[in-house]
């Protein structure tokens, strides 16, 4: 693992094990994410990627090991408390509240805040001017790309320290995938730490700083994005190149 930052990591997994009943899902997972980084977690189906995100959000409690946010142990806390401490997620397939308006969706993103939302809304409109045009529209009637903007906006409304992205390229046309990764990059450049789970390794590594590869619940590779892209083992298994 190449250590680029020396300060306290924003998010850290320390030897986390997770079980669903008798089945072990995560096996001694160690992940470190520094502030401002964009890190991706790669892996095939059923490798434990989504469980990793659920563990961060407290929807799954690790059987051993701990998850730390800003040096504070958050594993074992309720989802509400974890979200309050600065984690938010853009779920797989966006999953907007389809029958509510765009504005209502954004407001629910800020559910745990009771202060003024104008500034945050402005920030989101600045990032995604199209969202502003659609505020009164039902979220379900938006196009896929616009939905992704609202989903990211909704997650940003809680002013997260870490933004989790679950399969941002899932179910999107290739042009949209590119647009989507552009959105993520902009969010990251604007200062939010991004932890992204993705099957599309090529795409993810092209914008991420670092990457982890998860295989049946174990981290098998961890390196900078460039090194991973160049790694022959990686290329064979995930990047669809055989040499």
Partner 1 sequence: MSTTRSITDFETKDVVIQGALAALAISFIAAIGMLGEFNNRILITSLLSLGYLAIGWIPILFGYRASAEETIEGIDPPIKGPRDLLVGGTVGAIAGIVVSAFAWLAASVDLTGVFIHTGPGMRSALTFGQGIGFGSLLMIVFCTALGVFGAALHVMTPTVRSVIGVALGTTIVIAIFEADAKELFKGFRIRGVASILYSPTGGLTIVSAAAVTALVVAIKVYGKGHGPRVVYERVKLHHTSQTPEMQRRNSWIWGAAGFAVYLVIPQILGKSLSETAVTVGLFLVLGLGLNIVVGQAGMLDLGYVAFFAVGAYGIAMLTSPFRPAQWIPQLDFWVALPIVIIVAAFVGILIGTPVIRMRGDYLAIVTLGFGEIIQKLFLSDWWKPVVGGAQGITNVPSVSIGPVEFAGANSKMVFYLVAILVAGVFVLSHRLQYSRVGRSWAALREDEQVAEAMGINTVTAKLLAFAIGAVIAALAGALFAAKVGSVFPSSFKLLVSLVILVVIIVGGLGSLRGIAVGAIVLIGVLGGPTLPGLLREFGRFKLLIYGVILIYMMLKRPEGLLPSVLRSRELHHSELTQDAWLDKAGDFEEDEEVTA
Task: List residues binding partner 1 (CB under 8 A).
Answer: 57, 59, 78-80, 83-84, 88-89, 91, 93-95, 97-100, 104, 107-109, 111-112, 138, 140-141, 143-147, 154, 158, 171-173, 175-176
Give the nearer residue to partner 1 in terms of CB position, either 184 or 225. 184
Q: Which is nearer to partner 1, 129 or 232 (CB)?
A: 129
Distance CA 122, CA 141 (A): 22
Q: Which is nearer to partner 1, 87 or 234 (CB)?
A: 87
Three-state DSSP at 175 gives helix
Nearer to partner 1, 64 or 143 (CB): 143
Minimum distance, C-beta of residue 146 to partner 1, in the bound complex (Å): 8
Closest CB 24 distance from partner 1, rounded Å: 23
Closest approach of partner 1 to the CB of residue 97, in Å:
4
Residue 90's closest CA among 169, 34, 12? 169
**Ramachandran angles phi, psi of 192, nearest 5°:** -95, 135
| Segment (H or E) for 104 | helix 102-109
Per the document, the length of the chain is 243
Residue from 105, 4, 111, 12 nearest 55 by CA: 12
């Amino acid at each position: 693992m190449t250590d680029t930052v020396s300060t306290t990591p924003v998010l850290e997994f320390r030897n986390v094990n997770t079980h669903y009943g008798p089945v072990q899902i995560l096996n001694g997972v160690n992940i470190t994410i520094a502030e401002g980084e964009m890190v991706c977690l790669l892996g095939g189906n059923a490798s434990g990627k989504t469980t990793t995100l659920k563990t961060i959000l407290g929807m799954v409690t690790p059987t051993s090991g701990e998850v730390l946010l800003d040096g504070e142990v958050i594993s074992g806390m309720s989802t509400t408390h974890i979200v309050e401490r600065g984690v938010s997620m853009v779920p797989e397939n966006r999953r907007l509240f389809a029958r509510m308006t765009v504005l209502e969706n954004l407001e629910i993103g800020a559910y745990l805040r009771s202060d003024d939302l104008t500034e945050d809304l402005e920030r989101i409109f600045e990032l995604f001017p199209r969202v502003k045009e659609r505020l009164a529209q039902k979220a379900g009637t938006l196009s896929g790309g616009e939905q992704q903007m609202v989903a990211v906006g909704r997650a940003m409304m809680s002013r997260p320290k870490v933004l989790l992205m679950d399969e941002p390229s899932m179910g999107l046309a290739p042009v949209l995938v590119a647009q989507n990764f552009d959105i993520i990059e902009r969010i990251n450049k604007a200062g939010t730490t991004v932890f992204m789970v993705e099957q599309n390794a090529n795409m993810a590594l092209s914008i991420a700083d670092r990457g982890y590869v998860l295989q049946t619940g174990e981290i098998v590779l961890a390196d900078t994005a460039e090194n991973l892209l160049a790694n022959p083992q990686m290329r064979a298994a995930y990047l669809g190149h055989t040499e």
